[in-house]
């Protein structure tokens, strides 16, 4: 009997994103089953139902994808799913909360590579500003950069929000970042002056830096924006920018240049769930490593 390849997507959010469903089908899964509004405590039973219903040999044809916008809830789900597995019952696991890990991995990989190409040096020696960094992509990018050895500052308009994000990053990823309040554009511009990489990860519709503020920055510096919905978080960055010079020494990365790599990362990791010899457990570290591999052509 030919086994169908099944992917179960779980999220604590009230709905599962169609983005991940589409990506999973395109990666080759025969069926994708979304479960929304799932509490972390329910994951153990869900995993047991998946593995026991298909037997020791058939379990490997199933996989679990942890989604959702709450990073702490997603990581707890992922941890419970891993703990529920035991030989010979094994399934592949992947976590990518609201696409944040694969997007952050693409953002950081592209920005790091451009920094090297423009003579700023290795990421481990750079100062990274994650502007509007309290969302999932911002927190993940800040964690990745800090784990790579960069000195990272994460901003929010409110000091309490920035501090809460820094605490979650420390708890989930064992990475230290410096929280800073930037309630106004001049505040953020001052912090951007001190950074080598400026990563705009704010909410859709939030203009973080105007063209005038960008022109006032001193290069060499990389500025990147993950928001593909107008207006741009950093004024002047075009969606396709991949190193374009916005001002003397100020080089830009746009959301489509970042997004193209993000799609490759998520697609290739989903295919690992299908084809890897052993059942993988794909986490934030795996996303960061895959981004580097894809950029290097491996």
Per-residue pLDDT of the chain (298 residues; tens, 9 = 90+): 678 999 999 999 999 999 999 999 999 999 999 999 999 999 999 999 999 999 988 899 999 999 999 999 999 999 999 999 999 999 999 999 999 999 999 999 999 999 999 999 999 999 999 999 999 999 999 999 999 999 999 999 999 999 999 999 999 999 999 999 999 999 999 999 999 999 999 998 889 999 999 999 998 999 999 999 999 999 999 999 999 999 999 999 999 999 999 999 999 999 999 888 788 999 999 999 999 999 988 7
Quick one: which of 61, 267, 167 has its CA closest to 287?
267
Q: How far is CA 214 from CA 142, 181, 182, 248, in A?
A: 21, 19, 16, 10
Same domain, 58 and 176: no
The predicted structure's pLDDT at residue 1: 61
The predicted structure's pLDDT at residue 278: 81
Alpha-carbon gap, residue 29 to 169, rounded angstroms: 32
- Domain of 51, in residue numbers: 6-99+263-295
Same domain, 107 and 91: no
Same domain, 175 and 279: no
DSSP one-letter code for 58? H
Do strands 127-131 and 151-156 pair parallel, antiparallel, or not at all (unpaired)?
parallel
Same domain, 218 and 155: yes
The predicted structure's pLDDT at residue 297: 87
Same domain, 248 and 115: yes
Same domain, 185 and 91: no
Give me 69's structure tokens. 């916008």
Same domain, 114 and 241: yes
Same domain, 112 and 208: yes
DSSP one-letter code for 232? P
Quick one: which of 273, 268, 279, 243 has its CA closest to 258?
243
Contact 182, 157 (CB under 8 A): yes
Contact 139, 146 (CB under 8 A): no
The predicted structure's pLDDT at residue 276: 80
Counts for the chain of helices (H) and strands (E), in that order: 10, 12
Give me 139's structure tokens. 């927190």
The predicted structure's pLDDT at residue 205: 86
Same domain, 251 and 111: yes
Within a 10 A sphere around the Cβ of 53, how many other Cβ atoms?
10
The predicted structure's pLDDT at residue 277: 77
Who contacts 35 (Cβ-Cβ below 8 Å, separation ≥6)?
A: 8, 9, 10, 11, 16, 46
Is residue 178 situated within a structural domain? yes
Domain count across the chain: 2
Is residue 1 situated within a structural domain? no
Q: How far is CA 245 from CA 55, 154, 225, 237, in A?
A: 57, 24, 14, 9
The predicted structure's pLDDT at residue 110: 98
Same domain, 139 and 267: no
Residue with tokens 């589409």: 22
């Amino acid at each position: 009997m030919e086994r169908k390849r099944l992917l179960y997507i779980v999220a604590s959010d009230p709905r599962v994103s169609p983005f991940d469903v589409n990506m999973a089908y395109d990666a080759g899964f025969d069926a994708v089953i979304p479960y929304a509004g799932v509490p972390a405590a329910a994951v153990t039973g869900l995993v047991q139902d998946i593995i026991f219903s298909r037997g020791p040999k058939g379990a490997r044809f199933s996989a679990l994808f942890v989604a959702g916008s709450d990073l702490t809830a997603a990581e707890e789900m992922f941890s419970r799913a891993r703990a529920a597995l035991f030989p010979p019952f094994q399934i592949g696991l992947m976590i990518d909360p609201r696409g944040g890990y694969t997007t952050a991995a693409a953002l950081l990989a592209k920005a790091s590579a451009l920094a090297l190409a423009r003579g700023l040096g290795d990421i481990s020696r750079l100062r990274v500003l994650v502007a509007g960094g309290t969302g999932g992509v911002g927190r993940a990018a800040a964690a990745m950069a800090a784990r790579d050895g960069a000195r990272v500052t994460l901003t929010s308009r409110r000091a309490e929000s920035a501090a809460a994000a820094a605490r979650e990053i420390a708890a989930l990823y064992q990475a230290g970042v410096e929280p800073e309040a930037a309630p106004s554009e001049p505040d953020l511009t001052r912090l951007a002056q001190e950074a080598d990489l400026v990563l705009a990860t704010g909410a859709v519709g939030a203009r973080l830096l105007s063209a005038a503020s960008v022109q006032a920055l001193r290069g060499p510096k990389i500025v990147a924006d993950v928001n593909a919905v107008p207006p741009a978080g950093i004024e002047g960055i075009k969606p396709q920018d991949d190193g374009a010079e916005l001002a003397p020494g100020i080089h830009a990365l746009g959301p489509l240049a970042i997004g193209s790599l993000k799609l490759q990362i998520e697609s290739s990791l989903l295919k690992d769930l299908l084809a890897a010899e052993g059942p993988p457990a794909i986490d934030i570290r795996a996303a960061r490593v895959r981004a580097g591999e894809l950029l290097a052509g491996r």
